[in-house]
């Protein structure tokens, strides 16, 4: 873990339990805690491939709230090494995440790559801009899905990030990912074989009826 991520997550209560449990996690930190983390090409490439993420916000009462966001791959756009942005669409019209951001701009993001059993956690400050007030360049850069009308741009000013180990992640694949894999190749092969056999069978049946 980086020093910056630890600075934001290793609170006195967390440090106390780490100490009590004999954990040396606080001694295994990389980089300075005061250095806001810049996304590298690795994080940028990973984020560009994601078609969903989970975003946690906090309300006025201190309750955390987590919601899923989905869209075309890359809909969470990497603006620069410190900034991400996505188009937030009209959905169930509950506006819980947006409402929470009005009182506390801090968010935690969870990005999953199930086939490769990889996850990336991000901590950021969110800035909410009505869609009509966002710059034309930014609006053009944000991929939109088939459903939902964009209502706002949520810009994320990244504070820190952390990669997790694959432990406990069960690999899962989307239907597109299955079709692009060797399983997809085998499926197409069997479909072709099936079509050939059907044609042979119907030709044989036709031959029998005519004789
Ligand atoms: C018509 C409709 C379209 C939706 N489109 C999306 C979408 O494109 N992306 C998404 O992440 N959620 C979509 N949702 C799901 C949720 O409504 C959406 O995540 C919601 O705005 C969450 O708000 P909240 O974060 O305030 O709970 C859609 C829901 C509905 C009813």
Domain ranges of the chain: 1-35, 36-164, 175-210
For ligand 1, the distance from its centroid to the CA atom of residue 168, given in whole angstroms, is 28
User: Over the chain, what is the mean pLDDT?
Assistant: 93
162, 25 Cβ separation under 8 angstroms: no
* Cβ(154)–Cβ(86) below 8 Å: yes
Identify the pLDDT of residue 208: 80
pLDDT computed for residue 80 by the predictor: 96
The answer, yes or no, to whether residue 8 has pLDDT greater than 80, is: yes
The answer, yes or no, to whether residue 145 has pLDDT greater than 90, is no
Judged against a pLDDT cut of 90, whether residue 37 lies above it is answered with no
* Averaged pLDDT for residues 82-87: 97
- What DSSP designation does 162 have? E
Query: Is residue 96 in contact with ligand 1, taking CB distance under 6 Å?
Result: yes
* Length, in residues, of the chain: 211
Q: Using a 6 Å cutoff on CB, does residue 155 contact ligand 1? A: no
CA atoms of 138 and 153, how far apart (whole Å): 9
Non-local CB neighbours of 159 within 8 Å, separated by 6+ positions: 4, 8, 36, 37, 123, 124, 125
* Ligand 1 pocket residue status of 31, Cβ below 6 Å: no
The torsion defined by the Cα of 14, 164, 107 and 98, in degrees rounded to 10, comes to -130
Q: Whose CA is nearest to atom 13 of ligand 1?
A: 91
pLDDT at 1 over 90: no
What is residue 88's predicted lDDT score, i.e. its pLDDT? 95
The answer, yes or no, to whether any atom of ligand 1 lies below 6 A from the CB of 147, is yes
Distances (CA, A) of 180 to 20, 50, 169, 202: 48, 16, 21, 31
Higher model confidence: residue 24 or residue 124?
Answer: 124
Residue 148 pLDDT > 80: no
Identify the residue whose C-alpha is closest to ligand 1 atom 27: 96
Residue 30 has pLDDT above 80, yes or no: no
**Is 36-164 a CATH 3.30.565.10 domain?**
no
Cα 54 to ligand 1 centre (Å): 12
Q: How confident is the model at residue 29 (pLDDT cuts 50, 70, 90)?
A: confident
| Substitution site in 111, 148, 152, 154 for ligand 1 pocket (most atoms within 8 Å of beta carbon) | 148
Closest ligand 1 atom to residue 100 Cα is 26
Please determine, for residue 165, whether its predicted confidence score (pLDDT) is greater than 90.
no
Q: Whose CA is nearest to atom 30 of ligand 1?
A: 91
Judge whether residue 135 has pLDDT over 90: yes
């Amino acid at each position: 873990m980086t020093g910056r991520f630890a600075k934001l997550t290793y609170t006195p209560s967390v440090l106390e339990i780490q100490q009590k449990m004999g954990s040396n996690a606080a001694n295994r930190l990389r980089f300075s805690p005061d250095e806001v983390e810049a996304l590298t090409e690795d994080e940028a490439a990973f984020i560009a491939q994601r078609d969903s993420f989970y975003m946690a916000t906090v309300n006025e009462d201190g309750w955390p709230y987590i919601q899923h966001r989905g869209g075309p791959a890359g809909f969470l756009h990497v603006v620069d090494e410190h900034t991400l942005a996505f188009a937030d669409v009209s959905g169930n019209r509950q506006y819980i995440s947006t409402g929470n951001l009005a009182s506390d701009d801090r968010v935690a993001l969870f990005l999953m790559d199930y086939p490769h059993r990889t996850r990336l956690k991000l901590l950021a400050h969110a800035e909410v801009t009505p869609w009509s007030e966002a710059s034309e360049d930014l609006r053009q850069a944000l991929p939109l899905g088939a459903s939902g009308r964009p209502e706002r741009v949520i810009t994320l000013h990244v504070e820190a990030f952390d990669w997790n180990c694959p432990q406990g992640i069960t690999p899962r694949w989307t239907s597109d990912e299955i079709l692009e894999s060797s399983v997809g190749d085998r499926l197409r092969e069997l479909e072709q074989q099936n079509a050939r056999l059907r044609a042979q069978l119907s030709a044989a049946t036709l031959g029998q009826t005519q004789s």
